[in-house]
Amino acid sequence: MSSRKIRVLVAKPGLDGHDRGVKVVARGLRDAGMEVIYTGLHQTPQQVAETALQEDVDVVGLSILSGAHMTLAPRIKELLCENGMEDVLLLVGGIIPEGDREKLLSAGHADQVFTPGDPLDKITAYIFNQFQESTSS
């Protein structure tokens, strides 16, 4: 009877306005059957976390192309935890150098990192996988 859908918050924290990627991803996730909430540009970490809370999303995807990911992602993770949303899948996309990527992953500031050139399918497949695992376990 249940008609659950994966809800994803796609967010642009920080000041960079490059939303080509984020919009392509939003469309791709929609076409994969998910409900995608988009914050719009230029969001503070507080706005992103609060939106995730109100929308009760399963996934938060951050798009950051300004190089501020090492500041913004941990801050948003922290705020999500404060909101009791430590289980939300946190994905970071953007220009993330390999070293930073490892740091984000090992510190638990992101569950996965996607960089330019990663096909859409990889992102949708990753999300679907996570939810299969979490519902079967």
Partner 1 sequence: MDQEKLERIKALKELWAKEVEELKTREELPVTVSGKPVQALYTPLDTADLDYEEDLGFPGSYPYTRGVQPNMYRGRLWTMRQFSGFGDAYDSNRRYRYLLEQGQTGLSVAFDMPTLMGYDSDSDRSLGEVGRCGVAVDSLEDMEILFDQIPLDRVTTSMTINGPAAILWCMYLANAEKQGVGLDQVGGTIQNDILKEYTAQKSWIFPPEPSMRLITDIFAFASDHVPRWNTISISGYHIREAGSTAAQELAFTLADGFAYVEAGINAGLDVDRFAPRLSFFFNAHIDFFEEICKYRAARRIWARRMKEKYGAKDPRSLMMRFHTQTAGCSLAAQEPENNIIRTTTEALSAVLGGTQSLHTNSMDEVLALPTEKAVKIALRTQQVLAYESGVANTIDPLAGSYFIEALTGQMEAEAEEYFRRIDDLGGVLSAIDQGFIQQEIADAAYEYQQAVDRNERVVVGVNRYNTAEPMEIELLKIDPQVEKKQLERLKQLKEKRDGVKVADCLADLKKSAAASDNLIPKILEAVRCYATEGEIASALKEVFGEYKEKPLF
Partner 2 sequence: MQQLVEDLMSGSRRAAARLISLVENDAPLKRELLKEIFPHTGKAYVIGVTGAPGSGKSSLVDCLLQQMRADDLKIGVIGVDPTSPFSGGAILGDRIRMQEHALDRDIFIRSMGTRGSLGGLARATREAIQVLDAFGKDVVLIETVGVGQSEVDIVRTADSTMVVLTPAGGDSVQTIKAGIMEIADIFVINKADLPGAERTATEINMMLDMKESDQWRPPVLSAVSVRSEGIGAVWDCLKDHRRFMEESGRLMEIRRERVRRELTEQVEYLVKNRIWDQVKEQIELESLLEKIVLRREDPYSAAYELLEQINFYSEG
Binding residues vs partner 2 (CB under 8 A): 1-5, 7, 26-27, 29-40, 43, 46-47, 50-51, 53-56, 83-85
| CB 124, CB 32: distance < 8 Å | yes
Strands (E), 17-97: 35-38, 59-64, 89-94
Q: What DSSP designation does 57 have?
A: -
Residue 107 binds to partner 1 (criterion: CB under 8 A): no
CB of 59 to partner 2, least distance (A): 13
Helix (H, G, I), strand (E, B) or coil at 117: coil
- Residues between 46 and 65 that touch partner 1 (CB under 8 A): none
Q: How many CB atoms lie within 10 A of CB 105?
A: 14
36: tokens are: 């995608």
119 binds, among partner 1, partner 2, none (CB under 5 to 8 A by kind): partner 1
Partner that binds at residue 5, options partner 1, partner 2, none, CB closer than 5 to 8 Å by kind: partner 2
How big is the CA angle at 110 (ends 106 and 32), to the nearest 5 degrees? 135
Contacts with partner 1, residue ranges (CB under 8 A): 14-20, 23-24, 26-28, 30, 38, 40-42, 44, 66-68, 70-72, 75, 95, 97-98, 115-117, 119-121
